Chains A and B, each alone.
Chain A
Amino acid sequence: MLVNKKYVKRHAKGFVYLHWINAVCFFMLFLTALPLYADSCKGLYDIFGAKTLQNAHRFFAVLFVLNPVIGLITAREGIWRMFSEVLKFNSKDITFLVKFPLELIGKHPAGIPKQGFYNGGERMNIALQLATWGVLVGSGALLWFGEGIIDNSIRAWMIPLHSLCAGIGFAGSIGHIYLALIANPDSVHGMQDGTVKVDYANAHHGEWMDDLVKEGKIKQQELKEALKG
C-alpha cells in the first residue's frame, strides 16, 4: 500500500534513527579527533580543550558502538537488509557503477539497469561504511584499552589504520551526503519519515518496485496512478 497515494514505505523508523545517530556520531568522532589528524585544526584543542575533545571522542565512540547494537532490536530489518544487499552485489551493479558517474552531475544516462532496494553505489557505500566501522571500532578500542594487554608492536599499527579509515570513511560520507542532498534530494525524504516518492523509487530502484508489486505489497494499480499523478 502506498502512503498518501504518492509515497512508498522504504525505511522503518528505527532504521532512520539508527542512521542519523550513526551519522552524527561519525561526524562528531571525526571532528573531535581532527586536531590530531591535521595540524591546521589544532585550534579546536585551544577552544575546547584537548581533554574535553578526547573525552567527547570516547563518548561518541561508545554511542557509535552502542547504536547498531540497539539497532539490532529496533531496526533489525534495516540492518539485515543492508547486509543482504551488500552480498547481492552483481553484474548489474557493475554496469550501474560504470554509467553512474553522470548521475553525479544530475544527468540520467541511458542503459542503466533497473536497481534493487539499494543500487550499486549504495551497496558500495554500505560495504565501505561497514568496513570502516569495524576497523575504526577495532583499532580505536585497541588504542583505548589495549595498553599493557596488546603488544605495542601491534598497537603502533592501529594509529595509521584508524587514521586511514577515518579518512576513507570521511571522504566516502562526503560523497554520500552529496548524492543524497544534491544529486538526489528526493532520497532524503526516506531518511525523514521513511517513505520516498513513488516516481523517485521507480526511477532509481525499479527492480525493488517490481519486487514490491510481485510480493503484492503494493498493487499495480496504485503504482500506475501514482506515477501518472
Chain B
Amino acid sequence: MNLTRRDFLKTTGLTGVGLALASLGLDMPKVKAAAKEFKLKGAREFTSICHFCACGCGVIGYVKDDKLINLEGASDNPVNRGGLCSKGLGYGQIPNSDQRATKPLYRAPGSDHWEEISWDEAIDKAARALKKARDENWKQTEVIDGQTVDVHRTDAIGFIGGSQINNEECYQNIKMARALGVTYIDNQTRVCHATTPPAMNAAFGRGAMTNHWGDLKHSKLIWIEGSNIAECHPMGLKNVMKAKNNGAKIVHVDVRYTRTSKIADYFFQLRPGTDIAFLGYIISYIIENKKYNEDYIRRNTNAYCILRDDYKFDEGIFSGYNAEKHKYNMETWGYALGADKKPQKASDLFAPNTVMSRMKEHFSRYTLDKVSGITGMSKDDIELAAKIFCEYSPTVMMYALGMTQHTVGVENIRCFTILQLLRGNIGVPGGGIDAMRGQPNVQASTDFGIMFQYLPGYLSFPTEKTNTLEKWTRASGTFRAKWLKNMLKAWFGDYATPANDYAFNLIGVRNSSHNDSIYGLFEDAYRGTVKCLYLCGQNPHVTNANAGMVHDGLCRMDTVIAQDIFVNETAEFWNRPGDNPADIQTEVIFLPACSYLERRGTITNSMRMIQWRMEGPKPLGDSKPDYEINNLLWRKIRELYQDSTDPKDEIIQRMTWNYSDDQTVEDILKEINGYDLTTGKLVSGIGQLKDDGTTSSGMWIYAGVYGNGEHKAQRRGQEDEGGLGIYPNFGWTWPDNIHLLYNRASCDENGQPVDPEHKIVWWDAAKNRWEGYDVPDVGNRNAAPGTPDGNKPFRMTGEGYGRLFAAEYSDLNPDGMTRDHSYTPVDGPLPEFYEPVESPTKNALHKDEKAQFNPCVVYPRLPEKQRIGTKDEFPYVLCSSGIAEHWCSGTVTRNIPWLNELVKEPFVEMSHKLADQLGVKLGDKVKVSSARGNVTVKAMVTDRARPLTINGEETHMVWMPYSWGFKGLSKGPSTNYITIDALDPNVQEQEFKACLVNITKA
C-alpha cells in the first residue's frame, strides 16, 4: 500500500497541532545549533500498529540506511492520536537489538549449547518432528463415557501462541494445527481474558468489548474495576481523560493503589477475589432502591421473564449440583416456556419467579455487614460506591485481569453485565463494558479459535456429543452452522460439498471432559503423553501459573519447536540456572521470526478494529516473517505427506494453502473475508454469505474486511459523522464495521433514539431501513421495529435480549431445529461469591464446605505438584500482575534498555506495617514462598499498601510483578514459581490474582 505524502504528514502530526503551529510562524530563524541536519530528513516513513497491548495504537516509523531511526505515535490514528506509552516507544530499540536471534538454532538432546543451522535444516527437522509425534501417537478412536468414538486426532502435539502474530499468521496456524489433528491448542487468552467471552456472551450474545475507545468521551462515570488502565492500557487512559475534560468522574476499585488510582477521583480498596460480594451489594442496592432503568430493562432484557419453579439456590449451591463431578446439571436453570417454546414474561417486574424477583432474593444476602467483612472495605465506602454508581449516566465499566484471573472470573464479569443492563448502559454512547484485552492480537487469536474448544469465529469445536454436522447443528444452531459451512468451504474448497457434510468429518473430535488447555498440556507432558510442542510467540515458562509445572513438562517432551523473535526462557528451558542440561533429553529447534516492524499484515485491537501494518526495515539477519516461516513449515509437512494413502492424512492433503510468495498476507486475508464462489468475487459482508456451499469465508465475523476487493484495514479516513468518536472509515471493525455493539438497544420500540442528543442508529421510516452514524446492530436492516426481527436489541442471544439471569435456553426454528443457543456459565446462572481457592478466611456467606470456593473447581489435578497452602503456613495474600514499563514475560521489554532503566528488577510491594512486623526495610531482600515454590526479591515498602480487616482479622496483601526470567538484559526470578494453577471451571483460567504466601527476610 502506498500512503500519499499528505497521509504521512497527517500521521506525523503535521496537520494536527503541528501544522497549526507552523502556520503561526514557528519556523523561526535557524540558530547555529540547528545547523545539524533534521533527524528525519531523508528517512523513509511507514505506519504500523504497536505490538504491545491491545489498545492498538498507530505508530509511524522512520527508516534510514535500512535501520529504524525513530518510532512514534501516528497522529491520525483515532486510538492514540500520536501518543504512545513507554513500551510502544521503546520497541524502537527492537529492530536493531543485538539480543535478537538472527539464525535458526538447534539444541541437541542433552547438549548445553545452541548450534546455528540453515533454514532448510531447521524446517526439515521441525516438520519431521511434528510428523513423527503425530504418526506415532495417532488416536483414531477413543472410548468416551463407555462409547467408542471415532476421534481421529493426536494428543501428542501442542500448539501454543497466537496473540503475538498477525491475523493472517493466526489463520495459518489454526489451519496447520487442525489439519494435523492437534487438540492442545491454546494462546494467551487462556491465561488472560478467557473468562470474558463466556461472561459477556452469556449476557449479550457476543464475548467482546462493547464500545470503542473514542466513545469514552461520552461517559459521565468511568468505573474502572480490576484494571490498571494507566499502566496496562495507557491509550485507553488517554481516551478516559477526554471524558474528564467533559466533566466525567473516575472511580477505581482495586486491591492496590496504583498509578490508575492516582488519576481517579475515587479509590476503593478491597481484598483480591471479593468483587462479587462488593458488586452483589450494589446490585442489591439498585434493586432495593429502584435505581434500575425500568424502561430499558423492559425493552431489552429478560428481567420480566419467568423462571422454572424448580430452580433453587441454597447455602451457595445452585440446583442440579453433582458433588462428585463438581458439575451442575443446568436443566433447572431454564425459563417457564410458553406453548411456542419461548420464555414467558410477567407484566409485573416482581411477580413470583421473575428473573428480577429471583435476583432480588439472591442478592439480598449481600448485606453491608457481610460485604464489609469479606472485602475489608468500610461500610461507608461500600455505600458511597453504590451511591456514586447510581448517580451518573451513562456509565462505562472498564476491566481486565482483576476480574478475569480468578476461579470465579466468569461470574465476576457477570456482575458487570447485570449492573450495566439494570442501569441501561449497554448499547448506548458512553456506556458499555470495556473488556480491555491484553495482548496485541489476542482479540484475533481468540477470534481465529486458537483455543482447543473453538474453530474460527467462536464456532464450537466438535466433541463426542457433536461429532456430526447434524449433531453439531442441533447444539449450536442453524444460525452458526451456516458460518461453519463457509469455513469448511474455505478450508477444503471444492472437496467440501453438501453431500459430504462439507468435509466436516475430516476434522478431529475432542473429548468434552478433557482439559486440553495450556495447563492440561503441560500436565500431560509431565505424564508423558505430549511429545512435541510448537510454540509461536508465547513464553509459558515465565507466564503460566505454577510455572515449575511447565518446566517439568518440557523436560519430558521429545521436541520443542520455538518460533520467536528472541530466544526466550521456554525455548532455553534446558539451560535454566542450577539445572544440568545433560539431564534433559528434549531437542529444541528455534525458528527466528522478525519483529512486527519488519513485516506486514493485519492486527485486531481490543475494540475489534482491524488495522494494517506496513513493512519497515528489512528483517534483521536471517530472521523471517512468521507468515513466511509458516509457509515453509506447512509446505514441508505437506510434502512429507503427499504420497500417503492413510485416511488420517487426507485432511493434510486436502487443506487449502494457495498463497503466493509475494502476496501471502493479502491472499490469506481474502480467504478469510470470503468469496462468492459463483462469481469469484470477494463478498462484501456477512450478509452475502450463503448456506448452500456457494460462498466461502475462512471466518465469518471478518467477512467484509476485504469487502468488494477493498482492503478496508488499510483505511485511514478521518470522517466521524455525528461526532461519535468512532471514525467508521478508519480501519475496519468486526462484525460488519459495527463499532458500538448492541446499538439497537439505544432505540425505543419504534426504533427512535431514547436520547436524541446522543443518537447512533435509528429506524428511518421514509427509507424503510435502519440508518445510523454507526452501522446498526440489527440482523436485517429492513426489518421494521415492530417486527420480531426488528426488535432484537441483543440479536446474538437465543432470546434476542440481554440476559440478567443466564438461563439455559435454546431458541428453536419453526421446524424444531435449534436456531441458536444461549450460553450459560457452568458455575451458575447468577453470580455468587466464593473465596479464592487459597484464602486467608472462611467463606462468610455460606457454611457448606463445598461452597468455600467455587464448587465447580477441580483442584488439585496433580496432587504432588499442586498443593493448596493454608493460612497458618502462608499467612499473606499475593496478587501478581503487570507493570507499566514491562510487558508480560518480559522477553521483549527486558531487552529494551530504555525500559530496563525505568524498572530494573522484580520486587515485592508491602505495607509499612507488614514490613515492620517482618523486620524488613525498603530495599531489603526477602524470600516469598508458597506451597509451590519460592523466589527472592527486594522489598518495596510503601504507604500505598495497607492491611485490611477481613472478617474481623487483620490481613496483609502483597503484590509482585511477574515479568522476569533468566534470559534477557535484565534477569530476575519468575514470580510464577509461586502462583497457583487452580482454574476457572468454564474456561480453565488460573487464579493469578490471589494465592497465599509467606515472607521472610532473606
| A contacts B directly (C-beta below 8 A) | no
B binding-site residues for A, Cβ under 8 Å? none
A binding-site residues for B, Cβ under 8 Å? none
